[in-house]
Amino acid sequence: MSLITWTDVMKRGLAFQDADHKKSVALMNTLQTCSDADLPLAFTKHAQSLRDHLERENELMERTGFFAQDIHMGEHDRVLAETAAMQAKLDAGDIATVRAYVQQTLPNWFLDHLESMDTMTAMFAKRQGES
């Protein structure tokens, strides 16, 4: 398992983004520790939270004219498609594939995305007066 411990070091200085990321960490940790029976509901909660968060980030990038918004939004589209594919596997009863995804791929993606794209977006947005 790759449980993530939320710390202040993970904050990027935008209130909505930091709150969403903290919630995402809790949801991802739940996905890793829940029973197989609870995995479908936990994954649905994660997927909805992810969609809502990415929509807020997309709106921020559009509002501030973020110079790399096409790249960042493209990554959002990619991870949403990946999430939908995992939901389809879960719906088909493929617990093992989804379990592997939420234990390794998802937390690694989150940490990489936070350190790269989200950091750059937050830095830019704060320079534009966002908080």
Annotate 46-96 with DSSP letters as a single string.
HHHHHHHHHHHHHHHHHHHT-TTHHHHHHHHHHHHHHHHHHHHHHHTT-HH
Q: Is residue 86 part of a domain?
A: yes
Average pLDDT on 49-78 reads 98
**21 pLDDT more than 70:** yes
Residue 89 counted as domain residue? yes
Predicted pLDDT at 1 = 63
Domain that holds residue 74: 36-127
Q: Is residue 82 part of a domain?
A: yes
Task: Convert the pLDDT of each residue in 77-130 to its tens digit.
Answer: 999 999 999 999 999 999 999 999 999 999 999 999 999 999 999 999 999 999
Instruction: Tell me what the mean pLDDT of segment 14-25 comes to.
Output: 98
Does some domain include residue 9?
no
Write the burial class of residue 51 (CB in 10 Å: 0-12 exposed, 13-18 middle, 19+ buried): middle
Q: For residue 12, is it within any domain?
A: no
Q: What percent of the chain has pLDDT over 90?
A: 98
Domains identified in the chain, total number: 1
Tell whether 42 is covered by a domain. yes
In a domain, 118, yes or no: yes
CA-nearest of 120, 106, 9, 101 to 57 is 120
Q: How far is Cα 87 from Cα 122, in angstroms, rounded to an integer? A: 29
